[in-house]
Homo-oligomer: A and B are copies of this chain.
Amino acid sequence: MTVESLQDLFLEALKDLYYVEKTLVKKLPKIATLASSSDLRDAINQHLQETEGHVERLDQVFEMIGRKATAKKCDALDGLLKEAESVTGEIEDPQTRDAAIISSAQAVEHYEIARYGTLACWAEDVSNDDVRDLLQATLDEETAADQKLSAIAVSSINQSAAA
């Protein structure tokens, strides 16, 4: 599509995030099996459930703006996942692999934090409070997931992974 206004950008970013969330719903179960720390595995599985909720919220947003829910290939996420898989696939030591999983997951969280932050901000000008609140609710969960991963890294993984 031709992008000519903030409304168009908003729709394109929604499609991008729809691809991101749907891809993560498929990828997270595999990532959880690679984690050796039970805290980390639990956090990933909890975030999988949240991610399923994020897809539902995006479905609601598409419906509220009268558009069909559509995913658009996101080169940024694909690059993040390619990098994550190439690093974690090389690591045999469980604690070091856990540290790499957390690092990669936080890079993905920050991609989502950036995009949801932008969308929630744009919603002020191109949509309504209900749409903004849905996007903000997901943004808050992504931010909390990022902080939880930091806490797990510091409390139980990094020191063990430092040789």
Contact = CB atoms under 8 A, between A and B. Distances in A.
A82 B92 CA distance: 32
A6 B99 contact: yes
Nearest to A124: B158
Nearest to A107: B114
Contacts of A150: 117, 121
Most buried by B among A6, A86, A115: A6
Given A13-B103, A79-B80, A163-B7, A2 B90 contact: yes
Interface of A: 2-9, 12-13, 16, 74-80, 82-83, 86-87, 90-93, 95-96, 99-100, 102-103, 106-107, 109-111, 113-115, 117-118, 121-122, 124-126, 146, 150, 153-154, 158-159, 161-163
A96 to B, nearest CB: 6
B125 A106 contact: no
Nearest to A90: B3
Contacts of A79: 74-80, 82
Given A8-B96, A75-B83, A79-B76, A162 B121 contact: no
Contacts of A102: 118
A12 B88 CA distance: 12
Pick the 3 closest A-B CB pairs, nearest first.
A79-B79, A5-B163, A110-B114
21 contacts: A3-B90, A3-B100, A5-B93, A5-B162, A6-B158, A7-B162, A9-B100, A9-B161, A74-B83, A75-B82, A75-B86, A76-B107, A79-B82, A99-B122, A106-B117, A106-B118, A109-B114, A114-B146, A124-B158, A125-B161, A125-B162
